[in-house]
């Protein structure tokens, strides 16, 4: 697998590259000290795997992922263990390695990446049944029951670990799914992902201030990468 390493620390990049050199199936194409340089590279080159640090100046690892339309497989490498649950909201992330990384643990992460490469549609097949749509209706699987939700009544979808919370005008639903899956079922004309953990119904916005929006009583953060698209959606005077 062709891969790249993104980490603002030179020592960390060197260690990851050394770990990669001990795995015959890995080929490190390049290393980058920040996400912006990596984005420019990926605009012209394809890779199979990215080793990505979470905490980097100006542009976090999650912000970086949000910029990629079709991200390759990603292994997060970080000193912070607190984002593990959040990380697996993204289908492209195959593992989460906490520094210092030992070779044995590193090899297990590579095994996961290679397994996903051989059967990339496996997860898609298993989770496709979580939501199905018909016209303006969304059906969610809760406790082995398919419950119908009127799509225009949804004002917010929030990621919560391995689950999402779908908030409507009358009731909230907790569903075992991901934001990516439900985003595929919601019409772009109404809904927009404004943050890695939130999808909003843009017609339900009450107020916008700085990098947040108010919907009902919920104040929702808007990431820098998603703010331009949000502003395009608004009927500004």
Q: How far apart are CA 106 and CA 96, in angstroms?
A: 10
Residue 94 three-state SS: strand
The pLDDT value given to residue 107: 95
pTM of the predicted protein model: 0.55
Residue 219 three-state SS: strand
CATH of the structural domain 127-233, one choice from 3.40.50.620, 2.40.50.1020, 1.10.10.10, 3.40.50.300? 2.40.50.1020
- Higher-pLDDT residue of 123, 179: 179
- Higher-pLDDT residue of 102, 81: 102
> Which tens digits make up the pLDDT trace of 96-153?
999 999 999 999 999 999 987 765 443 443 333 445 555 578 888 877 778 889 999 9
Boundaries of every domain in the chain: 2-120, 127-233
> Which tens digits make up the pLDDT trace of 57-72?
778 888 899 888 888 9
φ, ψ dihedrals at 118, nearest 5°: -75, -30
For residues 86 and 61, the answer to whether their CB atoms sit within 8 Å is no
The pLDDT value given to residue 119: 58
CATH of the structural domain 2-120, one choice from 3.40.50.300, 3.30.750.24, 3.40.50.2300, 3.40.50.9100? 3.40.50.2300
Q: In what order do the strands lie in the sheet with 27-32?
A: 27-32, 2-6, 49-53, 73-78, 93-98
The pLDDT value given to residue 133: 52
User: What residues form DSSP beta bridges with 145?
Assistant: 142
């Amino acid at each position: 697998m062709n891969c790249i390493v993104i980490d603002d620390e030179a020592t960390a990049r060197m260690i990851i590259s050394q770990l990669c050199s001990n795995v015959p199936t890995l080929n490190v194409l390049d290393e980058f000290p920040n996400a912006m340089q990596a984005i420019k590279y990926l605009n012209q080159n394809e890779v199979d795997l990215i080793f990505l640090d979470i905490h980097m100046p100006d542009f976090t690892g999650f912000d970086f992922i949000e910029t990629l339309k079709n991200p390759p497989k990603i292994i997060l490498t970080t000193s912070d263990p607190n984002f593990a649950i959040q990380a697996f909201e993204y289908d492209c992330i195959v593992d989460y390695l906490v520094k210092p990384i030992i070779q044995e643990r590193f090899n297990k992460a590579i095994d996961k990446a290679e397994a996903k490469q051989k059967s990339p549609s496996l997860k898609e097949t298993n989770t496709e049944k979580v939501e199905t749509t018909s016209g303006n209706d969304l059906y969610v699987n809760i406790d082995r029951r398919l419950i119908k939700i009127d799509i225009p009544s949804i004002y917010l979808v929030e990621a919560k670990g391995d689950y999402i919370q779908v908030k409507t005008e009358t009731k909230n639903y907790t569903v075992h799914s991901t934001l990516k899956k439900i985003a595929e079922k919601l019409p772009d004309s109404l809904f927009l992902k404004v943050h890695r953990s939130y999808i909003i119904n843009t017609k339900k916005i009450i107020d916008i201030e700085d990098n947040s929006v108010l919907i009902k009583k919920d104040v929702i953060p808007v990431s820098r990468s998603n703010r331009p698209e949000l502003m395009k959606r608004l009927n500004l005077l």
